[in-house]
Chain A
């Protein structure tokens, strides 16, 4: 506490809110981890460190980063949404049926994907905020429901036959930057605004810090919690578009497991499962590291089965670190 107040009092009165040193050190250290992992891979496998490979890591990170930013908002508010992976599958399948089977224009298909996520998020939010059910259980149930509906609607198989222009959203580039990465950046900027300049973002932090105090301050906490889960669902719908474009089809089983990556990315990026802490930048760095690890495991020739194990271990380790970190924070209280 002492060492903090030293650099704090130096700030001019009325200055913009201080960007916490500790939070930045955490984020910066994650950037170093990202770079160290790249260098480590280069040592293991010389010739790894190419611009193409780095570009690929970013490209593959786009879907995870978008999911992670949505998950970050939920987790900051002290909640959890483990349905985002299968909701992404469901959104994708609904979009596939709309565009491929019904011949809707792509734009409408995109809207359908986001709307599907929004709707599922609304169901989650209503059950959690208004019926008072635990977020973990509600979204666990929804994970199963979304998966089941996705499989039913698609008859359990992939949907092919998107128009040619669709591929641009997965594989196209603009000024050398992959389109999914551009979408990710645009989405991140939008969410930066949501996090810091809207009541939704602000109250996500205060609800995560002290839900009762936020309620007593006259905030309609239930309404904001509902909105937070709707954003999370919509985010899954957006990520679904990019993922479908990348595989140029709608696969009903592809989303399951992405929730693990997203939640791990959130915790790696400085979010706390106890709520009240986290950032957009952290979620994106976390997602980059997760993609980097997946990419590295691929290059090293480890099977997707082994990768699942590694991701699970990383998630648990990250949460462990988070509990240690949180204990330290509580301990700083006098």
Chain B
């Protein structure tokens, strides 16, 4: 994936642009006229307290939930995302916190689930799974992403939570997605395992992948995000580059839901 040139970035339409998105559950406004966009090669952190509407917003992108109001445009073209399959077809891959992997089968089977490689036998009379190539591709993918997995043929349940999360992310990356969404990828992980996942996200960022990251961990956000978007009870609080906030300010805005003026770097230094 090519990195954008500083000049061209402005003119190119964002990968995803959501406008005026509302979603009500009964009387609860899970989302209230929210605007959200992700540019090429951008890592956007989506923040907010419990119930802020983060998951609802990304579920709309993932095709798991339909918005009541608002539009979604991909590469500047307005689209309908009616199902997970449509979302995938539009180049959006979602990594859920759980339910991402089949524990009982090995890494290649998980990575190639639903898109198995096959090879013909007897001149195409039979088609066998090309296990060799799937294993090679898996090793290449994990190597590219610097994911360290000794034995890709062990059932996935044998791996640590951090390794499993990196496998789930690698699976999304292999799809050649335009946008990868991760809902709390480091939640429920130990410190070392969080580090594993974070450095993977850093690698992806360096490769120019566009990522939406939901996280409750401010250190993670400050470390890997280019931009932060904060929601509070379904409303947009702020949307600004990470360079314009610090950790304390993020926490205050998440809790209060009141936007604060951007930090002036010069003043700080």
A209 lies within 8 A of B154 (CB): no
A17 lies within 8 A of B106 (CB): yes
Report A-chain residues with C-beta under 8 Å of the C-beta of B101. 210, 213
Report B-chain residues with C-beta under 8 Å of the C-beta of A213. 99-102, 113
A213 to B103, CA, bound (A): 10
In this assembly, does A332 line the interface, its C-beta being within 8 Å of a C-beta of chain B?
yes
Flag A1-14 by CB within 8 Å of B: 1 or 0 each.
Answer: 10011001101011
In this assembly, does B136 line the interface, its C-beta being within 8 Å of a C-beta of chain A?
yes
A51 vs chain B, min Cβ distance (A): 37
In this assembly, does B158 line the interface, its C-beta being within 8 Å of a C-beta of chain A?
yes
Q: Which residue of A lies closest to B131 (CB)?
A: A17
In this assembly, does A334 line the interface, its C-beta being within 8 Å of a C-beta of chain B?
yes
Task: Indicate whether A206 sits within 8 Å of B109 (C-beta atoms), given known contacts A5-B151, A216-B84.
Answer: yes
A198 vs chain B, min Cβ distance (A): 9
A205 to B129, CA, bound (A): 15
A333 to B135, CA, bound (A): 23
Q: Which residue of A lies closest to B106 (CB)?
A: A17
A212 lies within 8 A of B104 (CB): no
Task: Indicate whether A205 sits within 8 Å of B104 (C-beta atoms), given known contacts A14-B135, A197-B128, A218-B114.
Answer: yes
In this assembly, does B191 line the interface, its C-beta being within 8 Å of a C-beta of chain A?
no
Name A170-226 residues within 8 Å CB distance of B: 196-197, 199, 202, 205-206, 208-210, 212-219
In this assembly, does B10 line the interface, its C-beta being within 8 Å of a C-beta of chain A?
no
In this assembly, does B252 line the interface, its C-beta being within 8 Å of a C-beta of chain A?
no
Report B-chain residues with C-beta under 8 Å of the C-beta of A4. 154, 158
In this assembly, does A131 line the interface, its C-beta being within 8 Å of a C-beta of chain B?
no
Most buried by B among A8, A13, A17, A196: A17
Which of A5, A14, A197, A332 is within 8 Å of B157, CB to CB? Answer: A332
A11 to B153, CA, bound (A): 10
Which of B94, B102, B135 is within 8 Å of A209, CB to CB? Answer: B102
A199 lies within 8 A of B116 (CB): yes
A277 to B135, CA, bound (A): 21
In this assembly, does B160 line the interface, its C-beta being within 8 Å of a C-beta of chain A?
yes
A202 lies within 8 A of B116 (CB): yes
In this assembly, does B23 line the interface, its C-beta being within 8 Å of a C-beta of chain A?
no
- Say which size band chain B's interface belongs to: 35 or more
- Say which size band chain A's interface belongs to: 35 or more
B114 lies within 8 A of A8 (CB): no
How many A-B residue pairs lie within 8 Å, measured between CB atoms? 95
Report B-chain residues with C-beta under 8 Å of the C-beta of A20. 155
A219 to B129, CA, bound (A): 16
A9 lies within 8 A of B151 (CB): yes
In this assembly, does A16 line the interface, its C-beta being within 8 Å of a C-beta of chain B?
yes
B136 lies within 8 A of A1 (CB): no
Report A-chain residues with C-beta under 8 Å of the C-beta of B100. 213, 216
A205 to B116, CA, bound (A): 14
In this assembly, does A18 line the interface, its C-beta being within 8 Å of a C-beta of chain B?
yes
A297 to B100, CA, bound (A): 48
A206 to B113, CA, bound (A): 8
In this assembly, does A276 line the interface, its C-beta being within 8 Å of a C-beta of chain B?
yes
Report B-chain residues with C-beta under 8 Å of the C-beta of A14. 132, 135-136
In this assembly, does A329 line the interface, its C-beta being within 8 Å of a C-beta of chain B?
yes
Task: Indicate whether A209 sits within 8 Å of B151 (C-beta atoms), given known contacts A4-B158, A202-B109, A329-B157.
Answer: no
B104 lies within 8 A of A276 (CB): yes
Report A-chain residues with C-beta under 8 Å of the C-beta of B136. 13-14
A280 vs chain B, min Cβ distance (A): 16
Report B-chain residues with C-beta under 8 Å of the C-beta of A16. 131-132
B102 lies within 8 A of A276 (CB): yes
* CB<8 Å pairs between A and B, sample of 16: A13-B135, A16-B132, A17-B131, A18-B151, A197-B127, A202-B116, A202-B129, A208-B104, A209-B102, A210-B99, A216-B99, A217-B115, A218-B84, A276-B103, A276-B104, A332-B157
13 extra A-B contacts, CB within 8 A, seeds A214-B113, A277-B104:
A4-B158, A5-B158, A11-B151, A202-B116, A205-B102, A206-B105, A206-B109, A216-B100, A217-B114, A218-B85, A218-B88, A276-B104, A333-B157
Closest 10 pairs (CB-CB, A-B): A209-B102, A276-B104, A209-B104, A217-B114, A8-B151, A217-B113, A218-B114, A206-B102, A210-B102, A212-B99
